[in-house]
Amino acid sequence: MRKAIWFTVSAALPVVCFGLTAQEAAAQGVGSGAVTQASAAESAATPPKSETGDPSKLATPAVRPAIADDNNFVIGPEDQIEIFIWADPRIGGTFLVRPDGRISMNLLGEVQAGGRTPAALAGDISEALKAKDLVRRPEVNVKVLQINSKKFSINGEVMKTGAFPLVVPTRIMDALVNAGGFKDFANKKDIVILRGTQRLKFNWNEVVKGKKTDQNVYLEPGDIIIVK
Which residue range forms the structural domain that includes residue 112? 6-18+70-146
Q: Looking at the structure, tell me whether residues 170 and 112 fall in a common domain.
A: no
**Long-range Cβ contacts of 127-136 (<8 Å, 24+ apart):** 129/85, 129/91, 130/11, 132/107, 132/108, 134/88, 134/91, 134/107, 134/108, 135/85, 135/87, 135/88, 135/91, 136/11
Q: Looking at the structure, tell me whether residues 135 and 184 fall in a common domain.
A: no
- The whole-number average pLDDT for the span 159-177 is 93
Model confidence at 193, in pLDDT bands (50, 70, 90)?
very high
- The residues pairing with 130 across neighbouring beta strands, listed in sequence order, are none
Q: What is the CATH number of the domain that holds 101?
A: 3.30.1950.10
Whether the model clears a pTM of 0.75, i.e. scores above it, the answer is: no
Model confidence at 168, in pLDDT bands (50, 70, 90)?
confident
Q: Looking at the structure, tell me whether residues 113 and 170 fall in a common domain.
A: no
Q: Looking at the structure, tell me whether residues 173 and 217 fall in a common domain.
A: yes
**How many CB atoms lie under 10 A from the CB of residue 45?**
10
Cα–Cα distance between 32 and 164 in angstroms, integer?
Answer: 32
Q: Looking at the structure, tell me whether residues 207 and 116 fall in a common domain.
A: no
pLDDT at 176 over 50: yes
Q: Do strands 224-227 and 162-165 pair parallel, antiparallel, or not at all (unpaired)?
A: unpaired
Tell whether 175 is covered by a domain.
yes
Residue 48: predicted pLDDT: 47
Tell whether 211 is covered by a domain.
yes
Q: What is the pLDDT of residues 144-154, one digit of tens each?
A: 998 888 999 99
pLDDT at 18 over 70: no
Q: Looking at the structure, tell me whether residues 123 and 219 fall in a common domain.
A: no
Model confidence at 89, in pLDDT bands (50, 70, 90)?
confident
Residue 8: predicted pLDDT: 55
